[in-house]
Structure 1
Amino acid sequence: MSLRVAATVAAAGIVGAAVRWSIDAPLDGNWALLIANAVGCGVVGWATARHERVRRRRPRRAGTPSAGHSDAGPPVGLTIGFCGALTSMSALALQLARHLDDGQVATAGAWLVLTIAACTAAFVMGRFVVLANVRRP
């Protein structure tokens, strides 16, 4: 990884952490985590669909990756840096563990199902935003 890509990921991570904090500050931790994870999944859905759309339109020449992009995927600053700092699977695991430790099995299950549903829907909607705008021949 080049220094430029690493700096892009780090800068995007700072922005993602700030967004995460701004979501977490006014809300209950459980809801803030759900919102942050769903937003992150929506951004990843958008970024991956956008990358596929751009790649189909004009293939990149071998050996000419642009800054902030891996050779085979969407911008790493956005997906790894921003979304990596915004979302948290480990915080979800701790949330579920706390509910289970308190004997709230149904609550833990509900948060797990809600998170999976919200994140999946956000990812699909993020992709749909890009792919719905593709002109059909």
Structure 2
Amino acid sequence: MRRRIAWTVAVAGIVGAAGRWAVATQINDDWALLVVNVAGCGLIGWAIARAGRSHAQGHPRLGSRSTPRSPAAPSPWLTAGFCGALTSMSALALQLARLLDDGRVGTAGAWLGLTVAACTGAFITGRAVVHVQRARP
């Protein structure tokens, strides 16, 4: 079973890396990095909420005092494999280092702030999509 999981994570990683490369060939590298990081954070937010939703079915309220919250893990092929290869914190660090080395401190700060805000917003939106679906009858 572990071998099958490792293979699915590896294949998903290849697909994620190919997706990142495809985006980078279409638009400027800096913007491509932002796009893939935001998309990956949105998918991870969705996957985590979806895993929690599946785990919580049959429970009145997940996380309430009457129902202890048990960890529900999202699928490793999507989170570690696909999103792990699609997104890149190391490329962001290099981008910021390049800007700082060029003396563009304000631009580096703006990219960092934009990335954190956009990725956080995408993560929250991904989770909200699942919660809205859950609320529907």
With the length of structure 1 as denominator, give the TM-score of the two structures: 0.87
Cα distance change of structure 1 residues 87 and 53 upon mapping to structure 2, 3 Å threshold: same
Q: Is the 8 A contact 2:55 2:72 kept in 1?
A: no
Q: SS state of the match for residue 134, structure 2?
A: coil
Indicate the residue corresponding to 2:43 in structure 1. Answer: 43
Residues 1:91 and 2:94 are matched in the alignment: no
Instruction: Name the Cα RMSD after superposition.
Output: 1.7
Measured in 1, the distance between the counterparts of 2:136 and 2:43 equals: 24
How many residue pairs were aligned? 126
Unpaired runs of 5+ residues, structure 2, are: 60-70
Q: SS state of the match for residue 135, structure 2?
A: coil
With the length of structure 2 as denominator, give the TM-score of the two structures: 0.87
Unpaired runs of 5+ residues, structure 1, are: 60-70
Percent of residue pairs identical: 60
Cα deviation, residue 47, structure 1: 0.1
Indicate the residue corresponding to 1:53 in structure 2. Answer: 53
Q: Structure 1: which 4+ aligned runs deviate by more than 2 Å?
A: none
Indicate the residue corresponding to 1:23 in structure 2. Answer: 23
Residues 1-56 of structure 1, C-alpha deviation per residue, up to 9 Å, x if partnerless?
A: 71000001001101101110111001111100000000000000000000000001
Give the structure with the higher percent helix.
2
Indicate the residue corresponding to 1:65 in structure 2. Answer: none
